[in-house]
Amino acid sequence: MPTIYLSPSLQEFNPYSGGGNEEYYMNLVADAMEPYLRASGIDFSRNDPDMTLSQAIADSNKGDYDLHLAIHSNASPPATAGQNTGAAIYYYPTSTNGQRFANIIKENYQNVYPNKVQTIPTTSLAEVRRTKSPSALVEVAYHDNPTDAMWIRDNINNIARSLSQSVAEYLGVPFVEP
């Protein structure tokens, strides 16, 4: 049975426009993914909100996962706070499988998110640099932008479905609705 490590954001200190925080909403996305993954025959583990990032990476690396998916939302730098929109999927530049996974996420996510979606290679994000499984880190939208933050709140299930569909596609298993 294929397996994935889900790593929703551990950043409760990142406030959302309109209330709430990144850790809370990204855990809702991971919660909503679980029925889709189960229905599609994909086993999963996930981080604990009380973990540090290093602990979550170590926990992922202890297992034999086919994928590591970090689920985040973005915030703009202070000079442009609340002004940016878009989704970004990060992968490690020398990881062919990570890049393939990121591209699959992008293709599916463009069907649910109304703004620009891009893939970006990076060596600076620990969850794509230090995990042993092929990995991607998705920034689902900008949580400091009021419109994007509301879109996230209103589309938890659509985000989860799109990410789950991408996982199934990458793993080569049929995507099944719960």
Q: How confident is the model at residue 23 (pLDDT cuts 50, 70, 90)?
A: very high
Tell me how long the chain is: 178
CA-CA distance, 64 to 9, in Å (whole number)? Answer: 21
- Which token pair is 42? 């994909």
Counting residues of the chain whose pLDDT is more than 70, the rounded percentage is: 100
Report pLDDT for 134: 97
Contacts of 113 (CB under 8 A, 6+ apart): 87, 140, 141, 151, 155
Amino acid sitting at position 118: Q
Read off the pLDDT of each residue in 6-15 and give the average, rounded to a whole number.
Answer: 95
Report pLDDT for 108: 98
pLDDT digit string (tens) for 83-101? Answer: 999 999 999 999 999 999 9
Report pLDDT for 87: 98
pLDDT digit string (tens) for 59-79? Answer: 999 999 999 999 999 999 999
Read off the pLDDT of each residue in 103-115 and give the average, rounded to a whole number.
Answer: 98
pLDDT digit string (tens) for 138-162? Answer: 999 999 999 999 999 999 999 999 9
Q: Is 139:72 a contact under the CB 8 Å cutoff?
A: yes
